[in-house]
């Protein structure tokens, strides 16, 4: 018996992945390792828990077995220690934008934000699309079909957003909304968002309003701000580009997107010259990739070889991605052992390489 780990000997401490848990989603040691793609042994996480280096789990009893379970709000502290993303060196702003709709733009924004938050980075998402997809993904309770019409109408009238900030009725911190992660907040897309663009048109220095009144204040409290933009040009999108430290643009691996790419690149260049700003750092992400289709593979290869800043990582056109968004979870949370989740982790690393990040010390690596 000598040399055995204490948790392996004591039946009350066995970590059982399949044990049923009531009322809320929780995570076993193995699932946490899978979510973060961590190259660690189960005993490493168990030891960190015993030493108080990660949050204390719940213990769920089923028969003679007692298993560790962490809740979702505890994951960021674990992700900071055992995750795959580095810390950012200073607060950063990512603008996710494409002039073509249906290219998985919001899927990309959501995964960037949620995975960064799962690594204990303080993240705020600012929704800039009147369609409201990122708001729906971040606040699934709004989609409750059992809610009566009167409640919906009352709630809608009470919700504040960027238009209220523009009018001076509230400050930006008054319109922050919570999520199930303590490290992830968002500013919802309200019907008033459409009025923001109309109001800005007549204002001096209109392209700088978002940066001055929303982004700069948010950067004092958040490590990362993610701007999920509408797939069309507007004054509000100009504001988002001016405020961005990094533009992340999804490129569909289909012929329609390929044909319009030159116009989009020229458009960005014209915008930078007109605004007299430094060229925005850019990352381009191939999306809706279908490896079994020759044209999709050829277009992806062309992107990688010819577009500066194109990632090796892709987002595939796959049902698992749609399921993850429907569940309001990142791909690694929803299907941690899937190839799509592995590709999303690789893609996140590609994106973070374009941002200033901190280098871990030798002591931190050893820990």
Which pLDDT tens digit goes with each residue over 346-360? 999 999 999 999 976
Work out the average pLDDT over 81-92: 97
* 146 confidence band (pLDDT: 50, 70, 90): low
Alpha helices in the chain (DSSP H): 6-9, 29-36, 42-50, 75-82, 105-117, 133-138, 149-158, 162-166, 193-201, 209-210, 216-219, 235-243, 255-275, 294-306, 319-326, 331-334, 339-352, 362-366
Nearest CA among 248, 278, 249, 227 for reference residue 352: 248
Predicted local distance difference test score (pLDDT) of residue 15 = 42
Predicted local distance difference test score (pLDDT) of residue 158 = 55
Residue 357 DSSP one-character state? B
How high is the mean pLDDT of the chain? 88
Query: In b/e form, how buried is each residue of 61-85, taking b as 16+ CB within 10 angstroms?
Result: eeeeebbbbbebebbbbbbbbbbbb
Predicted local distance difference test score (pLDDT) of residue 10 = 35
pLDDT tens digits for range 282-299:
999 999 999 999 999 999
- The C-alpha angle 320, 323, 328, rounded to 5 degrees, equals 125
Whether 125 has a pLDDT exceeding 50, the answer reads: yes
Distances (CA, A) of 124 to 158, 261, 354: 21, 29, 19
For residue 118, the surrounding DSSP H or E stretch is none
Residue-by-residue DSSP string for 269-289:
HHHHHHHT-PPPEEEEEEEEE
What is the number of other CB atoms lying within 10 angstroms of the CB of residue 335? 22
Whether 152 has a pLDDT exceeding 60, the answer reads: no
pLDDT tens digits for range 290-338:
999 999 999 999 999 999 999 999 999 999 999 999 999 999 999 999 9
> Is the Cβ–Cβ distance between 313 and 353 less than 8 Å?
no
Higher pLDDT, residue 22 or 120? 120
Predicted local distance difference test score (pLDDT) of residue 64 = 79
Return d(Cα 126, Cα 237) in angstroms, integer.
12
Nearest CA among 84, 77, 74, 137 for reference residue 111: 137
* 67 confidence band (pLDDT: 50, 70, 90): confident
Q: How many residues does the chain have?
A: 367
> Is the Cβ–Cβ distance between 30 and 42 less than 8 Å?
yes
What is the number of other CB atoms lying within 10 angstroms of the CB of residue 328? 19
Domains of the chain are 6-81 (1.10.1660), 92-366 (3.40.50.300)
Whether 175 has a pLDDT exceeding 80, the answer reads: yes
Predicted local distance difference test score (pLDDT) of residue 308 = 95
Predicted local distance difference test score (pLDDT) of residue 209 = 97
> What is the number of H-type helices and E-type strands within the chain?
18, 11
Would you call 130 helix, strand, or coil by DSSP?
coil
Predicted local distance difference test score (pLDDT) of residue 86 = 96
Higher pLDDT, residue 154 or 71? 71
Strand 281-289: give its sheet, edge to edge.
176-178, 184-187, 123-128, 224-229, 92-96, 246-252, 281-289, 315-316
Return d(Cα 252, Cα 342) in angstroms, integer.
20
Predicted local distance difference test score (pLDDT) of residue 159 = 80
- DSSP lists the bridge partners of residue 255 as none
Work out the average pLDDT over 162-167: 95
Residue whose entry in the numeric block shows the structure tokens 């948790």: 7
Return d(Cα 287, Cα 246) in angstroms, integer.
18
Burial class from Cβ neighbours inside 10 Å (0-12, 13-18, 19+) for residue 325 reads buried
Residue whose entry in the numeric block shows the structure tokens 């595939």: 316
Torsion sign across C-alpha atoms 258, 263, 267, 270: positive
Work out the average pLDDT over 236-257: 96
Whether 3 has a pLDDT exceeding 50, the answer reads: no
* 148 confidence band (pLDDT: 50, 70, 90): low
Whether 75 has a pLDDT exceeding 90, the answer reads: yes
Higher pLDDT, residue 126 or 46? 126
């Amino acid at each position: 018996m000598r040399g055995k780990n204490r948790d392996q000997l004591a039946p009350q401490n066995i970590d059982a992945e399949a044990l049923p848990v009531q009322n809320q989603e929780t995570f076993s040691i193995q699932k946490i390792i899978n979510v973060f793609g961590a190259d660690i042994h189960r005993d490493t996480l168990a030891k960190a828990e015993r030493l108080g280096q990660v949050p204390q789990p719940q213990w769920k009893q089923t028969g003679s077995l007692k298993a560790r379970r962490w809740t979702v709000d505890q994951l960021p502290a674990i992700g900071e220690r055992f995750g795959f993303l580095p810390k950012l060196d200073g607060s950063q702003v990512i603008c996710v934008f494409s002039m073509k709709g249906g290219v998985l733009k919001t899927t990309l924004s959501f995964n960037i934000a949620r995975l960064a938050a799962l690594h204990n980075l303080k993240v705020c998402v600012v929704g800039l699309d009147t369609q409201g997809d990122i708001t729906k993904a971040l606040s699934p309770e709004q989609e409750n079909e059992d809610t009566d019409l009167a409640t919906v109408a009352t709630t809608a009238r009470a919700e504040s957003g960027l238009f209220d900030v523009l009018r001076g009725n509230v400050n930006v911190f008054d319109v922050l909304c919570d999520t199930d992660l303590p490290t992830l907040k968002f500013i919802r897309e309200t019907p008033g968002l459409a009025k923001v663009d109309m109001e800005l048109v007549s204002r001096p220095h209109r392209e700088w309003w978002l940066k001055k009144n929303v982004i700069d204040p948010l950067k004092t409290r958040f490590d990362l701000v993610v701007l999920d933009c509408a797939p069309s040009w507007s004054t509000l999108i100009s504001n988002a580009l001016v405020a961005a430290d990094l533009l992340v643009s999804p490129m569909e691996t289909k012929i329609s997107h390929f044909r319009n790419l030159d116009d989009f690149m020229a458009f960005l260049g014209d915008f930078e010259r007109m605004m007299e700003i430094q060229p925005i750092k850019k990352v381009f992400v191939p999306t809706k990739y279908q490896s079994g289709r020759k044209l999709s593979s050829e277009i992806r290869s062309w992107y990688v070889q010819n577009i500066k800043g194109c990632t090796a990582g892709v987002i595939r056109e796959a049902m698992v991605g749609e399921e993850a968004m429907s569940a309001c979870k990142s791909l690694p949370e929803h299907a941690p052992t899937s190839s799509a989740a592995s590709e999303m982790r690789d893609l996140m690393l590609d994106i973070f390489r374009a941002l200033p990040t901190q280098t871990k010390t030798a002591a931190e690596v050893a820990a």
